[in-house]
Amino acid sequence: MKHILSTVALGALLFSCGGSKSTVNDLATANPISTAINLSSVKDDKAPVVINPGRFIEETVTYRLPKVVQGTYSISDFGKYVDDFKALDYKGNEMSVTRVDDNTWTIADATNLDKIEYLVNDTFDQEAVGGIGGEIPFSPSGTNIEPNNYVLNLHGFIGYFDSLKNAQYTLDVTAPASFVRTSALQNTNTKSSSDGTQITTSYFAPRYFDITDNPMMYGKLDVEEFMVGDIKIVLSVYSPNNVHTAASMKETVYKMMEAQKAYLGDVDSTPRYDIYLYLSDGSEGSPKGFGALEHHTSTVVVLREQSSKEQLAASMIDVVAHEFFHIVTPLSVHSEDVHYFDYYEPTFSKHLWMYEGVTEYFAQHFQVYEGLVDNDTFYQTIQQKIAISTGMDDTMSFTTMSENVVEEPYASNYYNVYQKGALIGMCIDILMREESNGNRSMLSLMKELSAKYGKEKPFVDDNLIEEITAMTYPSIGAFLNTHVVGTTPIDYEQFFNKVGLTFKESKVETSYIQDGKGFIFDGDRETMKIFFSEGVKNNTFWADQGVLPGDVIKTVNGEQLTIANAQAMIGSMYQWKPGQGINVVLEREGKEIVIEAVLTQSYTMAKKIVEAETATAKQIEIRKAWLKG
């Protein structure tokens, strides 16, 4: 906070020194880039944006919107959502602009450039029609423009000049006075219109990273603020049909974050953390990609509005806990690829196993360690991750996949960072506790790395595993080189044996989208169809309904299922509970088959993780250190 305040003071000093356009003080390199978004002038779901950089001294400048944003590991091309791009000179005349690619514009005769104006279309609307010429941004990284709600992931509105990558920014957001507005970005001023119908809020960002790292939400919001220890939590909720409120979720979030704070202990955390929750009602134009995107001191979350209070609470714990743990990595521990991130031509770190995998491990492990769930529930979670990860490419080098994550075949295996990546974290945690007689752990290692590096000092990507080995034990280095850099699958039973656990073939409860080995669906990109795989035979509910491998799923509860919407719809099926009525239309050899039934609990045969009766005192001691009891 001290750093931010001192930077704001510097910005104010620059403002006070600014003169007219004819003075040296208006140079683009001297003053913050002035930007504005007007939510009161939205037409056809497009918001007007104005960028005023100050006076350039070079003849040609380049302006870009991000191709990729941090935390997504996929191509977003936010420039595709920009229309009517104009460059204006000091007399208000349009200047010549060349659009180099989807995200890039060059302006010649830049010494006469006064400002840039353009319209931004939101990405949520595009999810219903398959996007604009390609991949659609993941919903929590996207933007929303509608009369009652605006999700302002600012990387979708504000870009940067190549020659001003380290420039400061000011941002004015104008919106109806009736709107609730939340943002963790530094607020410098608030001004009402003469008739009182509009309010312009001014913000300051020390650099472009802070623009991209501080989302906002405007509109008819429900907001709760509360303290968890010394952290101020701001929970902003948009529920279009008022199904859920921030107040109804406050207790869940409080208990979760209180436990996370206890788990982290003396980790240097943020003084404020914002949670922006958009609840999708499933209508046309609503987001379909459920999950969250982390920022250093906030997260944007998209979940289903039709979830019950209990389902939503479970989803919030699963999703938000993961995002909050990102304050450890990459906030405190990150490579040069992250620290000097290039939004146009990004390079990716080899260590997604740590950024996403260890973070996901913490998000599950803290729950059992702090007593939010029992041991068996934690074992079941680990078991599911093993089943899913072993159903993917289990011999793919994790470091190679990470470094090439936006390309195939690696992009298709990105989901494994939340499965095998978390299991990697678990194995290191068990090894650390075994080697240290329970005194060190995965978390203590991350704390040591945080003390060595911290927010402002990145590590060298190629050196991390060697450094971790030197800081820990030869067994840790051997594990990382064999199973993370190397292609050897992990023998999980070997690690469970260290803590007195074993596998036992058992009949276990399962969801309606899995069996004991993973998902029970497959897809064909050419036909865009989703069909049941061989795994359906080992899911009692579907087997009892007579479903066979190869049956194509045409509709689920009246909604067509294709590869385009599979993530959202199958995710919805994951939340099905016994007692619900369903209607599923299948196609088998050209014939239509209708399954209309009430859900019953589904079971599968799987290797269940259990505590071994023959566990030694030493094994039990390490297990107690691992699970805190």
DSSP string for residues in 176-230: ETT-EEEE-SEEEEEEE-TTSSEEEEEEEESSHHHHHT--EEEES-EEEEEEETT
Confidence of residue 574 (pLDDT cuts 50, 70, 90): confident
pLDDT at 189 over 60: yes
Confidence of residue 10 (pLDDT cuts 50, 70, 90): very low
Confidence of residue 14 (pLDDT cuts 50, 70, 90): very low
Please, what is the average pLDDT of the chain? 90
Bridge-partner residues for 273, per DSSP? 233
CA dist 119 and 627 (Å) reads 52
CA dist 350 and 337 (Å) reads 9
Q: Is the peptide bond prior to 330 cis by the omega test (within 30 degrees of 0)?
A: yes
pLDDT value at position 551? Answer: 96
pTM of the model: 0.85
Q: Which residue has the higher pLDDT, 131 or 512?
A: 512
φ, ψ dihedrals at 62, nearest 5°: -120, 130
For residue 74, the tally of other CB atoms under 10 A from its CB is 15
CA dist 345 and 103 (Å) reads 11
pLDDT value at position 29? Answer: 74
Confidence of residue 268 (pLDDT cuts 50, 70, 90): low
Q: What's the helix, strand, coil split of the chain in %, to 5?
A: 35, 30, 35
Amino acid at site 204: F
For residue 260, the tally of other CB atoms under 10 A from its CB is 25
- Whole-angstrom CA distances from 96 to 92, 145, 159, 306, 455 are 13, 29, 19, 49, 41
Bridge-partner residues for 276, per DSSP? 236, 300
pLDDT value at position 25? Answer: 54
User: Using a CB cutoff of 8 Å and minimum separation of 24, what contacts does 196-199 make?
Assistant: 198/40, 198/174, 199/174, 199/175
CA dist 47 and 348 (Å) reads 32
pLDDT value at position 466? Answer: 96
For residue 148, the tally of other CB atoms under 10 A from its CB is 12
State the SS3 of 7-38: HHHHHHHHHHHCCCCCCHHHECCCCCEEEEEE
**β-pairing, 82-89 with 97-101?**
unpaired
Which residue in 537, 530, 534, 522 sits closest to 554, CA to CA? Answer: 530
Q: Which helix (H) or strand (E) segment is 324 a member of? A: helix 309-324
CA dist 128 and 585 (Å) reads 21
Total length of the chain: 629
pLDDT at 2 over 80: no
